[in-house]
Amino acid sequence: MRPQQAQCGAEAKECRVTENSDGEASEELASFVAMRVAPLAKAFAQTPLMRIRVRTPEGWVTLEKSAHKSSDAARPTVARPGHVPRIQEGEPGRAYDTINAETVGVFRSASHAAEFGERIEGDRVLGYVEALRLRNPVTATSPCWFVAQAVEDGQAVEFGEVLFVVERGEAPPQPEAPAPAENGAAAIEPPRI
Amino acid sequence: MFGKVLIANRGEIALRVIRACRELNVKTVAIFSEADRNSLHVRYADEAFCVGPGQSARSYLNVPNIIGAAEVAGVDAIHPGYGFLSENASFAEICTSHGIKFIGPPASAISLMGDKANAKQRMLEAGVPVIPGSGIIESLPVAKKFCSEAGYPVLIKATAGGGGKGMRIVGRDADLGAGLAAASGEAQAAFGNAGVYIEKLLVHPRHIEVQVLADEYGHVIHIGERDCSVQKPSHQKLLEEAPAPHLDADVRTKLCEAAVRAARSCEYTNAGTLEFLVADDGRFYFMEMNTRIQVEHPITEVVYGVDLVKWQIRIAAGERLTIRQEDVRARGHAIECRINAEDPDNKFTPAAGKLGSVLMPGGPGIRVDTHIYSGTEVPPYYDSMLAKITASGRDRAEAIARMRRALAEIEVRGVATTTSMHERILNHPSFIAGRTHVTWLREEVLARQAVGA
């Protein structure tokens, strides 16, 4: 979907949009922020994670919580031996997997919402996309750890839209050390479109 | 009038429909594949929904996702453009069953005219000439009787045929027996069925089609004809013009009247095109009906001053067609060149990739319908057409002069295009004289070029 204007949610108001080489945030970037980043930031705020990196249809999004704001959210967990967070060379943040919409329609949450860090089996119904008077179940397709739901109940979704963020590694998602970056800033890379 | 329309297409036709909607003060919803995320139709529409990945089957032909987008956006109607779902009767029915108006003819008309045998039968009943054909030939005297009535040359075809097997061209009565025996034997060997039938063979016919418009209250008119004889060896049109050059006034009248009869016979509504083959002697034969807007519709719009796409929308919205047949008059001449991402020197092989600099022509008498701009990515999944250039003038000579000038102004870097082929066509003496036919490009331009090389 292409909204008429960028409308960041409360959780995304502190976003700092990385400007492009011309020094101007493009219309596409504003749209990208409203369409992909705002819902993701809202979902991210509900998790104890300090950093999240997700591939959206238009490009990568990396969100970080500042240290002073995340103190109540950050929950110490023990990493399993041998678990290596998947951080791509030269890219900040850990890349999480996503479950994306195959159907265009209206998203409906599952009656029993998954929680952060919960182990999810492949056939677990995480939500539905309603279209043509049918409720199309959205499943994880393979076992994973639940991280966040990136869309809200009743929200219109298009093909490829990120519905859920999950961790398909062996270990559950781990809160990471806060970044030594500017306070309250979330870095968003320009969409690679 | 509709409040919001979804355009179930891409490229220049999606833009064309968006423009018509804007002029009618109708909101637009675009659909796009992941490969078209940066396409102009996505940018120009009021809303846009991604409906699938690059492959057409999973995006522009993905009916559930397209209807899903239509429902989410709350549209009143869907315009299918051309290609993709435009002549899919079941899609038209699905739209109706979801309370969405399909901007096109009723599903019954799409279905009827999409079946060649049924369409031909209906045309015969409506008094529209079709290419004469025999039933299965059971004896030589029966074959001779048919051929003497239809006239030589004829084409013998296998009833179970395909791929050119069991086909023979016969030019005179004396060769008919041998031709039948050869075709029948070949058919038996290839298909295990020796049955053959005979069709009249038209030598070097022209492809002339007639535009029709019909409202939902029984008012049917034609908007003149287009000559689409300049075709690639694959029979795809490359250049079209309106009116058809050197078409006898009496033949033109009969052709257009036949098209209106044909449209009436299938209770047609909205815009449609009747395609005919026209022989040297002026006889014409129904070939097929395209139950949608045509690629080449701009030449009709320019010459007759009728906005066909806006009329499609208005008719679908229940408006009456207010154009009277006697008001339809050609003014001047128009030519359309299809600028495709194809290499004309290599069998029109399609090209894809990122375009470099793109400059389109302008100036008096030039209309450009395109979705490309500098830096556009041309995906490999879709039709290779990049732009349609329409040149119009007071007469054919002026239209040709303007088109030559426009072609010289075009710059499309990064892929091979058909621009150079159009320059060759527009400078060819036969084209300048208005003497082309459906195999002219292959026989007179490409073959000679190959010999010359």
Q: In this structure, are B170 and B287 located in the same domain?
A: no
pLDDT band at A53 (very low <50, low <70, confident <90, very high): confident
Most confident of A177-181, B7-11, B233-237, B279-283: B7-11
Range of the domain at A133: 10-188
- Name the residue among B323, B275, B269 with its Cα closest to residue B301: B323
**Residue A20: per-residue pLDDT:** 47
**Residue B240: per-residue pLDDT:** 98
CB-based contact A104 B49, cutoff 8 Å = yes
Residue that finishes a domain, picked among B161, B183, B200: B200
pLDDT band at B259 (very low <50, low <70, confident <90, very high): very high
Report residue B358: phi and psi, to 5°.
-125, 120
Q: In this structure, are B189 and B256 located in the same domain?
A: no
Range of the domain at B241: 206-452
Task: Name chain B contacts of A100, Cβ cutoff 8 Å.
Answer: none
Q: Which residues of B touch A (CB under 8 A)?
A: 34, 37-38, 42-43, 45-53, 59, 64-69, 71-73, 98
Most confident of A129-133, A141-145, B226-230: B226-230
Does B266 have pLDDT greater than 60? yes
Residue B421, H or E segment: helix B419-426
Q: In this structure, are B268 and B383 located in the same domain?
A: yes
Q: In this structure, are B150 and B226 located in the same domain?
A: no
Q: What is the least distance, in Å, from the CA of A22 to any CA of chain B? A: 17
Return the residue in A36, A104, A163 with the most chain B beta carbons within 10 A, the one to mutate for interface testing. Answer: A104
B296-331 in b/e burial notation, b at 16+ Cβ within 10 A? bbbbbbbbbebbbbbbbbbbbbeeebebeeeebebe
Does A68 have pLDDT greater than 60? no
**Residue A50: per-residue pLDDT:** 78
Whether A191 has its CB under 8 Å from any CB of chain B: the answer is no
- How many structural domains comprise chain B? 3
What are the tens digits of pLDDT across the range B429-441? Answer: 999 999 999 999 9
What are the tens digits of pLDDT across the range A133-179? Answer: 899 999 998 999 999 999 999 999 999 999 999 998 888 887 765 55
Query: What are B368's two structure tokens?
Result: 């450009």
Average per-residue pLDDT for chain A:
71
CB-based contact B51 A104, cutoff 8 Å = yes
The beta-carbon neighbor of A131 closest among B34, B46, B68 is B68
- Asked whether residue A68 is assigned to any structural domain, the reply reads yes
- Asked whether residue A3 is assigned to any structural domain, the reply reads no
Residue A136, H or E segment: strand A134-139
- Position with higher pLDDT, B350 vs A40: B350
- Asked whether residue B291 is assigned to any structural domain, the reply reads yes
Q: What is the least distance, in Å, from the CA of A156 to any CA of chain B? A: 6
B129 class by beta-carbon count within 10 Å (0-12 exposed, 13-18 middle, 19+ buried): middle
CATH number of the domain encompassing residue B193:
3.30.1490.20
Q: What is the least distance, in Å, from the CA of A83 to any CA of chain B? A: 33
- Asked whether residue B406 is assigned to any structural domain, the reply reads yes
**Residue B52: per-residue pLDDT:** 96
Does A131 have pLDDT greater than 60? yes
| Residues of chain B above pLDDT 70, percent | 98
- Asked whether residue A111 is assigned to any structural domain, the reply reads yes
- Asked whether residue B357 is assigned to any structural domain, the reply reads yes
Does A83 have pLDDT greater than 50? no
- Asked whether residue B122 is assigned to any structural domain, the reply reads no
CB interface of A with B, residues 68-97, below 8 Å: none
- Asked whether residue A152 is assigned to any structural domain, the reply reads yes
- Asked whether residue B386 is assigned to any structural domain, the reply reads yes
B358-393 in b/e burial notation, b at 16+ Cβ within 10 A? bebbeeebbbbbbbbeeebbbbebbbbbbbbbbbbb
Q: In this structure, are B326 and B413 located in the same domain?
A: yes
Return the residue in B18, B43, B58, B65 with the most chain A beta carbons within 10 A, the one to mutate for interface testing. Answer: B65
What are the tens digits of pLDDT across the range B378-402? Answer: 999 999 999 999 999 999 999 999 9
CATH number of the domain encompassing residue A34:
2.40.50.100
Q: In this structure, are B356 and B213 located in the same domain?
A: yes
- How many structural domains comprise chain A? 1
What are the tens digits of pLDDT across the range B43-65? Answer: 999 999 999 999 999 999 999 99
Long-range Cβ contacts of A120-127 (<8 Å, 24+ apart): A120/A144, A120/A145, A120/A146, A120/A166, A126/A99, A126/A163, A126/A164, A127/A151, A127/A163, A127/A164
**Residue A26: per-residue pLDDT:** 67
Q: In this structure, are B158 and B85 located in the same domain?
A: no
Does B423 have pLDDT greater than 60? yes
- Name the residue among B295, B300, B246, B292 with its Cα closest to residue B269: B292
Q: In this structure, are B413 and B285 located in the same domain?
A: yes
CB-based contact B37 A105, cutoff 8 Å = no
Tokens 């031996």 identify what position?
A: A81
Mean of the pLDDT values across residues A115-139?
92
Tokens 């005979």 identify what position?
A: B198
- Position with higher pLDDT, B48 vs B234: B48
Q: In this structure, are B178 and B236 located in the same domain?
A: no
- Asked whether residue A141 is assigned to any structural domain, the reply reads yes
Q: In this structure, are B29 and B15 located in the same domain?
A: yes
**Residue B160: per-residue pLDDT:** 79
Q: In this structure, are B262 and B404 located in the same domain?
A: yes
- Asked whether residue B377 is assigned to any structural domain, the reply reads yes
- Asked whether residue A14 is assigned to any structural domain, the reply reads yes
pLDDT band at A45 (very low <50, low <70, confident <90, very high): confident
Does A52 have pLDDT greater than 50? yes
Q: In this structure, are B222 and B327 located in the same domain?
A: yes
- Asked whether residue A157 is assigned to any structural domain, the reply reads yes
CATH number of the domain encompassing residue B79:
3.40.50.20
Q: What share of chain A is helix, strand, coil (3-state, %, to 5)?
A: 15, 30, 55
Query: What are B278's two structure tokens?
Result: 């026209």
